[in-house]
Structure 1
């Protein structure tokens, strides 16, 4: 079953509902596997790719995952217009490293001409929102970026970005990339962000639905996403129940985790990691699973939320 498309906010066309993340993925596979992964995703209608350069803040890893992806895309034979590429702009060293400089470096490293969207990423202190919206707007106006979203922002800052854009006639964020899945739901389901999703002002991109593999019963020996709220032990504890429910639906835990997100009509795209072509091929089964059993599996997993004590406004982020 090919991947359907959905809205990811008011500034974007419909996008594939499944997206492949880049952190610790492309640089963990060989060139031929990377080429195969891109071809499989594009042919399945799931050609949404995160293409980030991890080079500052807690991600000062000087990763080559974006370079590996770019070379594989060039050799895949897949046309640029047949994929959706989403980059990352970081706030850790902004405005010292301004967005234009970051963007040019990312595009050059990946060997591509533009991003269809960018996510403005993590930060410690509230940014100068007028400057931020202005800088991103310039990149959109020049055709280097199609639209932009935010990544786990404090809700007050997200609202401020929307207000600044409305007042200035600038480019507003179109979507929010939030940690969202069976175990983590506080921000996406909490009233502050839910109001923006419900009004159509923002689309929702679900990320980290596997909890770095912990929700799937794995013990990852690599760097994974931050354990915001300190709930990872709880997530590990519910993994056997996730596996049990998955078996009831004749599915894998990964398929179940993706399908749980897809069964939420607010979700425009689910971003997940895969480092082997067979993982992607298997995970595509989540589309049919969600279409056939969405309400049932959501009900079966309703009690497995692990972050019920976490504030939904994002103030718990590091």
Structure 2
């Protein structure tokens, strides 16, 4: 078990580590032995929350093996199942043609798992049948294949509709929102649309895309595929990197750790999801915990003028 350096926060009834490791373009870029070491060290460093997704549909029709590689590394690590939190993912791109039950069964089999602690229902292009989404996810909960669920970058109207549908049917609604959030992108996570749901505890917030595909960690635009550029502001974000690096140096951390620490200062945050394909990245990012705890207010003041999406709508309807 890890030595706790920060009190656990609630994510849909789960007491989760503050740091969470993503799977997109991570485990498939690592040596198998390094992946095993990464998992063991993650549990020690308050990062024993793992996103486990099968990238096989829509914009992510990559047939990646990252989930298979993670499952193998987890078994070889010897880490106890109760010492980690595992989060699966369901895709709406071809749903309901590819139903949730089949998707989840495939994902669990590929990773060699029996169940997920929670899962995220992914983003979409066309408006989904919200009551059916809620009902289909609840069938998985009833089967014991997953403990709860959250949404990924949904429009606020659909998130509220899911909450209302669940309440009216006596079912489990979404308990967290995985949103793009970081130093430069704050509109959706901090804006008026989602804020009331975070403030009253209806939803917890899980930050993703914190580094904008690596831009705010390195100052470089990656050549590999990265997340969508909502609002078309990526050039603005790239231009912010020198100032981010300057603030990071003043606090004695890497720009990546600074970005994570910024997210952790938000009271709505349950944890921060980021990609790490080297052990050194994970260990450097761990400094975010101490930084946010000791200098949270100073940190937000130092980064106050670096929001790049002030003119982007906060309700997800882009």
How does the TM-score come out when normalised to structure 2? 0.97
* Secondary structure of residue in 1 paired with 2:247: helix
From 311, 315, 318, the counterpart of 2:317? 315
* Cα distance per residue 1:42-85 (max 9 Å; x no partner): 12232000000000000000011001100000100001111000
* Secondary structure of residue in 2 paired with 1:271: strand
> Residue 129 of structure 1 corresponds to which residue in structure 2?
130
- Any conservation in 2 of the 1:5–1:15 contact (CA below 8 Å)? no
* Secondary structure of residue in 1 paired with 2:98: coil
Residue 5 of structure 1: CA displacement?
A: 4.3
Residue 192 of structure 1: CA displacement?
A: 1.0
Q: Which moved more, 1:176-185 or 1:220-229?
A: 220-229
- Any conservation in 1 of the 2:253–2:284 contact (CA below 8 Å)? no
* Secondary structure of residue in 2 paired with 1:107: helix
RMSD between aligned alpha carbons?
Answer: 1.0
d(CA) in 2 for partners of 1:156, 1:138: 23
Change in CA separation of 1:21 and 1:5 when aligned onto 2, cut-off 3 Å? farther
* Secondary structure of residue in 1 paired with 2:226: coil
> Residue 208 of structure 2 corresponds to which residue in structure 1?
207
* Secondary structure of residue in 1 paired with 2:272: strand
d(CA) in 2 for partners of 1:18, 1:26: 17
Residue 124 of structure 1: CA displacement?
A: 1.1
**How many residues are treated as equivalent by the alignment?**
315
- Runs (5+) with no aligned partner, structure 1: none
d(CA) in 2 for partners of 1:268, 1:211: 20
> Residue 304 of structure 2 corresponds to which residue in structure 1?
302
* Secondary structure of residue in 2 paired with 1:228: coil
> Residue 291 of structure 1 corresponds to which residue in structure 2?
293
Residue 301 of structure 1: CA displacement?
A: 0.2
- 1:23-102 equivalences in 2 (<5 Å): 23-102=24-103
- Runs (5+) with no aligned partner, structure 2: none
- 1:89-238 equivalences in 2 (<5 Å): 89-216=90-217, 217-238=219-240
* Secondary structure of residue in 1 paired with 2:179: strand
* Secondary structure of residue in 1 paired with 2:205: strand
Residue 3 of structure 1: CA displacement?
A: 4.4
d(CA) in 2 for partners of 1:311, 1:51: 30
How does the TM-score come out when normalised to structure 1? 0.97
Residue 218 of structure 1: CA displacement?
A: 2.1
> Residue 250 of structure 1 corresponds to which residue in structure 2?
252
- Any conservation in 2 of the 1:3–1:17 contact (CA below 8 Å)? no
Divergent runs of 4+, >2 A: 1-9
d(CA) in 2 for partners of 1:241, 1:2: 32
d(CA) in 1 for partners of 2:55, 2:247: 35
Residue 219 of structure 1: CA displacement?
A: 2.6
